[in-house]
Structure 1
Amino acid sequence: MIVQEGIFQYSSVNHSLVCYARRDIRHQLAHAALDQDSVHKAPAVFIIAAVYERTAKKYGNRAERYVKIEAGHAAQNLLLQSTALGLGAVPIGAFHDEKVKQVMNLPVSQEPLYLIPVGRKR
């Protein structure tokens, strides 16, 4: 999750958000996302990223399919919860993968799948 205060990552170990950078990268992220205004202006941008190799250890050549299905489920849950809270959210798939990875400083093994800006409805 990217917010003005920095970049946070979900930790499944203790179900919390861990800050791994204290800088606002929304402008750079918006540029990587074809200069989409919603990425730049949203108070929070969620990124769903995949580690295909981790899933492939268990599911073999079905990993890519399963990862994309689960990413869709996660995005749907985020969109539904945003709506329930009266917020606006939009899933974005139009971005330069390598630029997003660079801006986010993602490990080589992680692939960004979705950007989901969340904020007030227009």
Structure 2
Amino acid sequence: MRVAVGSVWHESNTFSPIKTDLKCFEEYELLLDNHIIDYHRGRRNTEIGGILEITENRHIEIIATVSASAIPSGPVTTVTFKFLEQNLLERIQKIRGQIDGVLLVLHGAMVTEDLDDPEGYL
């Protein structure tokens, strides 16, 4: 079994005037491809770390895509969300038909300048 794994994680506060841009993700966590596995393997306090631990001996191959997290703050800028969306979807599209599923770690409280439910949109 092959499963694509990714994360787009942010808790937005719509009352905050401080927008969350790409730099916010870069400063906290913005990882691509196998850098995700290298960073999260052995970290039991992260969702992706837990996924890696559980799948390790179960004949499940993980294909890492994008892992992006930023400290809670204001809405994510449209440009930033489009960057994250494009990178995630491009990677999944490349392996479409070669995977059995997609597992995304989402916070559920992200808001962008244009979308009230960007995680639902993904």
TM-score where L is the length of structure 1 = 0.34
More strand by share: 1
More helix by share: 1
